[in-house]
Chain A
Amino acid sequence: MLKYFVKRVLGIIPTLLCVLLFLFGLIYLLPGDPASIMLGPRATPAMVDALNKSLGLDQPVYVRLGHYLWGILHGNLGESVWSKHTVASLIMSALPNTIVLTLASMGLAALFGITLGVLAAIHGKTLIDHLVTVLSLIAVSIPDFVAACLLLLIFAVRLKLFPVLGGGEPGNLGDQIRHLVLPVIALSMGWLGYIARLVRDTTLEVLDMDYIKVIRSFGAPMSYIAYKYALKNAIIPVVATIGLGVGKLLGGAVFVELIFNRPGIGKVITDAVFARDLPVVQGGVLIAAFLFILANLVADLSYAYFDPRIRYE
């Protein structure tokens, strides 16, 4: 296990380096002069020069690359072009919101997905099974931004059950939770359907195994078997897809944060994209990519922990 762990952790280093290089190279992909593009058509030459200087664009490439990497090593992601906040502080103030949103959605999706999946498998080929299958198919098919719009329209605007926009008052936990409900449902729906489907198929396979048949022939009740034996096996593929899921949810969080006007890293990045605030885009994407790589690493490691065969490949 230790060997596998070291191998996987070392394996992400080249990827991380390439991500950094790509983000550094981003500024060269911009058609035209980066500073004047960021400042827009009304910028004076003096403003462009000043921005060039503060971004270090007047220096040779290798010096800038050195500064860039040095800065990142020290947690310095640069400064926003517009607000003069540091990028790190902008991201740090937004990140907890996104993490809460993502984790809550993941938890909701896992809880209901696994329950529904096991339920469907136990009641194989009955109404419950068909219902779960159809519902999970529908849930998977609804893109999260469409789900967010519909939930907002139905539950916030029409029925007025939940607040429409924002992340809730800071410090007021109840208010924040009320603001979290609809975004979490919108974000978790697709993943919930996916997990339910996955768990149903795995559980059906497990329930077909000889050892389960033996336990059943001893007269153990189905609910006991499902909880005690089937569930443990059914969870493995869910764990394996958590890395994928975090990526999907982080991505979906961009839309959900935008539609519900919630503070979060997705909103920071999209706002920066529209404001052409390149340092913020670079920093935000770096953190998002880093989280994504980290989640995949954790998922891989936990998969290897549950399934020893992986370690010896």
Chain B
Amino acid sequence: MTFSPELEAKFAKLLEIYPAGRTRSAIVPMLLYAQDEVGHISPDLIEEVARRCQVKPLQVDEVVGYYSMLHRKPLGKCHVQVCTNISCLILGGDELYAHASKTLGIGHKEVTPDGQFSLEEVECMGACSWAPAVQLNYDFYHHVTPEKLDQLLAELRKAH
């Protein structure tokens, strides 16, 4: 597989920073950074990461199954993550999630037919004091209301 020069540079650094002979440690960062670039974790990507980290593909595969941010299927261009854990829940996080689901017409871990958006009900993302919180890809949004979410999604639709 070929990657951008930036990602190749990241990979090269990851293979250097862990103690000698411990390149297995680079598996999770490599998978996540690669997913950001190529969209999801394909069997080819698993083979590639295994080759670079000098481990068996199965050792990479079992890691993919464990971490909730690693996805085997493509996500939408904008991955909408709504927190419904306790601090968000009691300030309307579940209403916000229901609203997002209705607006986008998709459920948990589904993607819109145009590939623009995907939705996920996520666990605590560390924004409890500014609840309810949403992450659009890696960007945090605090004190989100259904109206504010509509506005954010409309801006993203326009941008594409």
A and B assemble together: no
Q: CB within 8 Å of A: which residues of B?
A: none
A residues in contact (CB < 8 Å) with B:
none
